[in-house]
Amino acid sequence: MDKKYSIALVVILFGAAGGLYYWRSADLNDYGTRRNYNASLHCTSCNKDFLAELDVADTPPVECPNCGKMTGWYRWECAKCNEQFTPPASGNPPRQPVAPSCPKCGSSATGRMGGEL
């Protein structure tokens, strides 16, 4: 390989690595400020829906703002029939299924609902 050419290549590689590092740290900073997200929840004690700002480390059940009980669970929406539902939690400690199927049409094209506070 020509010597001039290989020096140019090294400069390009270092430049690319520096750019990548900058991009990655900017990305990490972004994660740092965006740890909160809005979730649409349903309280199984008082049957009310509510929105809450959750930290990514938080997992339901969360405290219901209406009755104060720790029975706020994620709401899901079916992409096929638009049914909105709250999958029942099971186990100990109780957890909702990760990928519940729609109780109305049986589709597995379901997703957790977000919302605007």
Comparison of 39 and 43: residue with beta carbon closer to Zn ion: 43
70 secondary structure, DSSP code? S
Nearest to 69 by CA among 93, 90, 45: 45
| Residue 48 main-chain phi, psi, to 5 deg | -110, 145
Kindly state whether residue 83 participates in binding Zn ion, applying the rule CB under 5 A: yes
Which parts of 21-60 interact with Zn ion (CB under 5 A)? 43, 45-46
Kindly state whether residue 7 participates in binding Zn ion, applying the rule CB under 5 A: no
State how far the Cα of 103 lies from the Cα of 80, in Å rounded to an integer.
12
Kindly state whether residue 62 participates in binding Zn ion, applying the rule CB under 5 A: no
* Contacting range for Zn ion; rule: CB under 5 A; set: 12-20, 24-32, 52-60, 71-79: 71-79
Six-digit token string for 24? 């990655």
Kindly state whether residue 78 participates in binding Zn ion, applying the rule CB under 5 A: yes
Neighbours of 114 (CB within 10 A): 13
Kindly state whether residue 101 participates in binding Zn ion, applying the rule CB under 5 A: no
Neighbours of 72 (CB within 10 A): 27
> Of 81, 88, 94, 95, which lies in the binding site for Zn ion, with binding defined by CB under 5 A?
81
> Of 29, 105, 111, 114, which lies in the binding site for Zn ion, with binding defined by CB under 5 A?
105
